[in-house]
Each structure stands twice: as structure tokens, then as C-alpha cells.
Amino acid sequence: MAPPRDGVRLVTDDIAMMTRANTNCYLVNAAAGPVLIDAGLPGSRRLLDEALTMFGRRAGDIAAVLLTHAHFDHVGLCRSLHDEHAVPVYVHESDAALLRHPYRYAHESVRLKYPLRYPAALPGLIRMVAAGALGVRGIEPHYDLLAADEGSHPCTPVFSPGHTYGHCALRYASSRGGAPVEVLFTGDALVTYDPYTGKRGPRTVARAATADADLGFRSLDALARTRAQVLLPGHGAAYEHGAVRAVTEARRVGVD
């Protein structure tokens, strides 16, 4: 399962997947206005404009940004969308400090040793830097993802701490060819490509970027319980075989 190449692709009738430097964000073309799930890297802007055009929308139409978590590689466009178009940003309260300072995150293991131990990850990490990974600015104002009013956004948060303390996956009822399909945006709670090791297939992210790996493993139960058919991760290709199988596989391979 190769990670997707840079670009925009339609994954369901109303979800566009945007990939830059092995990092994904998604545009949901919801009835009340398009919603951005995670905000990628600063270099993701051209892809966002392309996805908006796909749905006949503009940046000013974006109803909300929903963050699975506030690591720098998921908040890259928050600042410009908020400043230029007053787009509201939703995040779990436990990640609010991270949204202000997207590089001040807790992690269990020394980050620098990973590129040495996993040289396969190095080209990907260099591409992240080229896409602006070192120049992300945080923002202060935000809305609490869990306290959001009914109807303010079209997703159901699934609290899944571990990768960060406020991580939430997001459920969304989408469709393919008009037939209903349950989608789960898994953020970095469950990915199919780990940027820190270069390993592929369903897994949790390495301890280099994870606050509490054991907690993250326990949170996988919450993802499995959704029984979502299609998993859309923060890194790597879409997973089409369902949440239960993805979680079983992630548990089997363990964490680096």
C-alpha cells in the first residue's frame, strides 16, 4: 500500500483528499458549507484551492476547520484561513495549548534518533520541511470540538487520546454513487504511513511524535467501535477494509 502521491483526489461523493508530503487533509463538501478536516502544511494551500474548485466553492465559503489534533503538520492553513476569511477552528480543549504553539508537543522518545534508525523516513521528512513544516504559526482563537453546538459541523468526534492528549477522530456519514458509506477521519490515532519510520500499513505513529503510546493503543477500541467502512488517515493511503480490521492490524504490528 504505497502512500498517495501529492495531489487532490475524490474519495467519496463529497470528500476530497489532499496530500502533500505524505500528509493528508480533507475537504468535506457538506450542505451547510465545505468543512476542512485538518489543515495540512502551509504548502497545502494550492491543493485546497483545487479541491474547493472541484466542488464549485471558494475559500470564503469554508464553514469550519475541524482538527483531529494540533500538531504542526495538521494546522498549517489554520492561521491564513482564520485571518483572511474568519473561518472558525475547532479542536479538543486538551490540544488548545498545542494550537497556540504547534511545536511544543509531548513525545515519549527522542525525535532525532528516528531518521538515523529509520533512514527510509528521511526523504519524506525532507519533503515535509519543503512544504513549510518548520514555519507553521499557531492561533489563539478556537472552539471546543466536543462542546460544539449540534449542527455547527457535520462530524461526530470520537475522543481517542494518546498521540496527543486531545486527539479526536471524526465520523462522517458520506456516500459513494449515492449509497451510504460510514467514514472515519482517524487523524494520527491510526495511520497507514508513519512519517517517522517510513513504515506502511495500519499502525499507530512512532513514539517520536506520540505523547502516550499505551493510551493511544487503548483508544483504538473507540475507533473499532465505530465500525466505519472507510478510514481516512492523517498520513498514508485511505483504508477501505473497515475500522475493526485496521485496529487489529495496528495492534499486531505494535509501535516503534
* Region near Zn ion per CB under 5 A, out of 34-42, 125-133, 180-188, 248-256: 180-188
Distance, in Å, from the CA atom of 50 to the CA atom of 8, rounded to the nearest integer, reads: 7
Residue linked to cell 479526536: 168
The yes or no reply on residue 166 touching Zn ion (CB under 5 A) is no
What minimum distance in Å lies between the beta carbon of 251 and Zn ion?
Answer: 19
Q: Which stretch binds Zn ion (CB under 5 A): 12-20, 57-65, 133-141, 188-196?
A: 188-196
Binding test (CB under 5 A) with Zn ion, winner from 14, 188, 194, 256:
188
Q: Which of 69, 2, 57, 4 is nearest to 27 (CA)?
A: 57
Chain position carrying cell 505523547: 211
Could you give the CA distance from residue 237 to residue 232 in angstroms, rounded to a whole number? 7
Reduce the DSSP state of residue 8 to 3 states and report it: strand
Listed ranges 60-68, 108-116, 226-234, 243-251: which one lies at the site for Zn ion (CB under 5 A): 226-234
In the bound state with Zn ion, the residue whose beta carbon lies nearer, of 15 and 205, is: 205
Strands 168-176 and 179-187, by their bridges, are antiparallel
Q: Segment contacting Zn ion (CB under 5 A): 28-36, 77-85, 183-191, 214-222?
A: 183-191
Q: Please, what is the minimum distance in Å from the beta carbon of residue 176 to Zn ion?
A: 26
Please say whether the dihedral angle defined by the alpha carbons of residues 79, 82, 85 and 90, taken in this order, is positive or negative: positive
Find the binder of Zn ion among 14, 38, 73, 194 (CB under 5 A): 73
Closer CB to Zn ion, 14 or 43, in the complex: 43
